[in-house]
Structure 1
Amino acid sequence: MNAVAIGPLAFSADRLSVITGLIVFMAVGSLLAARVDNRLGTWTTSAALSGIVGARVMHVLTHAESFLQDPWQVLAIWQGGFSSAGGFIGVLLVTVMLWRKAPPAAPWTIMPLAAGLFAWVAATTLTDGSAAPRAPETSHAVLAQGETISIADRKGRPAVLNLWASWCPPCRREMPMMAEMAGSNPQVDFLFANQGEGREAIATYLRQAGVDLETILLDPFADLSRHYGALGLPATLFINPDGTLSASHLGEISREALAERLAALSPQDRTQTE
């Protein structure tokens, strides 16, 4: 999966690209504020904040039904969930205001915008990983049934593979939602692969948490994390019926992001799961 580790922190490639673009945008804006017009510094800050808020608001409105079930999730920005269209509208509004109040300074806004866009594209290109690995042929023991499952051998069904551990707070937060989504999407195999813990520790945690998961794989040596290049937990991988990796998500995943990934199955994949 496309992810980058910086010291103890791990970022998904797309988030790191956006952060890089924002940093360059702010830096160029600050430089122009010192050299050209100090109002450009205020514009840069306002544009960044307006873009972020606009991107989040548009995302929330697009998935209003999901957020109405749990309104507090609107504040869970660490899960991701931003609309590029909303971000563009937010930046545009602040830029129009600058054009009206300070026409001489307005043309200089092109430089920070262009620099930020270039940095975002460059970071996206540099962090774009190699071909995604296919599902591993090795088998993993199942916690409850006393059997083994090979992720590569699932009778042509798509799968969601969640890598988790009981000591991981984001894993614990997302698990009830993941269990609910697994129950409402029987056409997809949801596989919860515990990373590095023993059978007794896993069973104790699930019993205390009151979470009911159908298929829990034991991966005591975190082989799946190494296979897919997951730099942190939780990590959620979306696997096509042929075993190829369709998409991945590093960190806590939201209900709407999970629903979007499930809906993105190709028509051929849907036919195979009916």
Structure 2
Amino acid sequence: MISIGPFSVRLVAVFLAVLLAWAVARMVAKRLPDSPYKAASGMLLDAMFVGFVAARIGYIAQWWDEYAQSPMSMIFIGDQGFSWWVGVLAALAFVWWRTRSIRALRRPVLVGVTAGLLAWFAAGGVLDLLQRSAPPLPALTLATLDEKPVVLNSYTGRPVVLNLWASWCPPCRREMPVFEQAQVQYPDIAFVMVNQGESAQQARAFLETQGLQLKDVLLDPASQTMQAVASRGLPTTLFFDEHGRLVDTHLGELSMASLKHTVSRRFAPSQQIKTDKE
């Protein structure tokens, strides 16, 4: 799993793209008469904020049914749910509106936005290439709650959503009902919940206390899986296709909307159609 410290590398890429956009807007504005670089860079940051908010609102609108079931999840931006095309359009519209009476600022701000977008798209392409070369589903021998051995890559043959969790982890606890619901809605996908660093008794007690009915719960008392996938924190969710290839990752809490979004993007439409009919 690609990360920088505790942060997802995609989040770092967004931050760097914004920083580049800010720097480019200032540089272009400095060449103008009276050098309005402070106004240009300030307007760009305002546009980015507007775009960020619009992207979140657009995503919530797209997945309204899921967010309506859990309204508080709308403010948990850690699920990384954003409709970026909505955000880009909102940011451009904001710049166009704000510069209607100060046309001199329009060019540097739009050039900055363009530079940031190009950097972000380029980083996304590089990350996708790196992800395709990531190691496959690990061949680790873990155990069920009944302490029977299971080889992790024995799930290969159908898509796998692998979640690393622990009962002491608050975001892990909050997202558990999402996986419980998802395993019913997507029966052709294996939702494998690998407990990290705890005993069978601890994991079982937590599941029973919470009333959770999860099908594929495995034990990894030595946290081998975290090491194998280079995870830096919990919860971590990894998406593997039917061939055991890593196709997406998520560090932090998942909402039902973000889980469904990733499934719709990364897994075969035939599996989704079958699920939708059910």
TM-score, structure 1 normalization = 0.86
**DSSP-derived class of the 2:247 partner:** strand
**DSSP-derived class of the 2:155 partner:** coil
The answer as to 2:84 corresponding to 1:84 is: yes
Q: d(CA) in 2 for partners of 1:238 and 1:195? A: 18
**DSSP-derived class of the 1:104 partner:** helix
Match of 2:19 among 23, 26, 32: 23
Q: 1:117 to 1:220 in 2, by over 3 A?
A: same
Task: Give the superposition deviation at 1:119.
Answer: 4.3
Amino acid at match of 1:88: V
**DSSP-derived class of the 1:135 partner:** coil
Residue equivalent to 2:210 = 209
Amino acid at match of 2:251: L
The answer as to 2:226 corresponding to 1:230 is: no
Residue equivalent to 1:138 = 140
Amino acid at match of 1:147: K
Residue equivalent to 2:35 = 36
* Structure 2, gaps ≥5 residues long: none
TM-score, structure 2 normalization = 0.85
Q: d(CA) in 2 for partners of 1:240 and 1:174? A: 22
Number of aligned residue pairs: give it: 269
Identity rate, percent: 31
Q: Higher mean Cα deviation, 116-125 or 52-61?
A: 116-125
Task: Give the superposition deviation at 1:258.
Answer: 1.0
Q: 1:155 to 1:82 in 2, by over 3 A?
A: closer
**DSSP-derived class of the 2:103 partner:** coil
Q: 1:122 to 1:211 in 2, by over 3 A?
A: same
Amino acid at match of 1:40: A
Amino acid at match of 2:14: V
**DSSP-derived class of the 1:156 partner:** coil
Q: d(CA) in 2 for partners of 1:239 and 1:125? A: 19
**DSSP-derived class of the 2:193 partner:** strand
**DSSP-derived class of the 2:88 partner:** helix
Q: Higher mean Cα deviation, 146-155 or 225-234?
A: 146-155
Q: Higher mean Cα deviation, 130-139 or 13-22?
A: 130-139
Q: 1:44 to 1:271 in 2, by over 3 A?
A: closer
Residue equivalent to 2:94 = 94
Q: d(CA) in 2 for partners of 1:268 and 1:157? A: 12
Alpha-carbon RMSD = 2.7
Residue equivalent to 1:180 = 181
Task: Give the superposition deviation at 1:268.
Answer: 7.2
Task: Give the superposition deviation at 1:89.
Answer: 1.4
Q: Per-residue CA shift, 1:53-96, capped at 9, x if unaligned?
A: 11111111111221222222211112111111111111111111
Q: 1:167 to 1:23 in 2, by over 3 A?
A: farther
* Structure 1, gaps ≥5 residues long: none
Matches within 5 A, 1:1-274: 1-5=1-5, 10-29=6-25, 36-37=35-36, 38-121=38-121, 123-124=123-124, 129=130, 131-144=133-146, 146-154=147-155, 156-263=157-264, 264-266=266-268
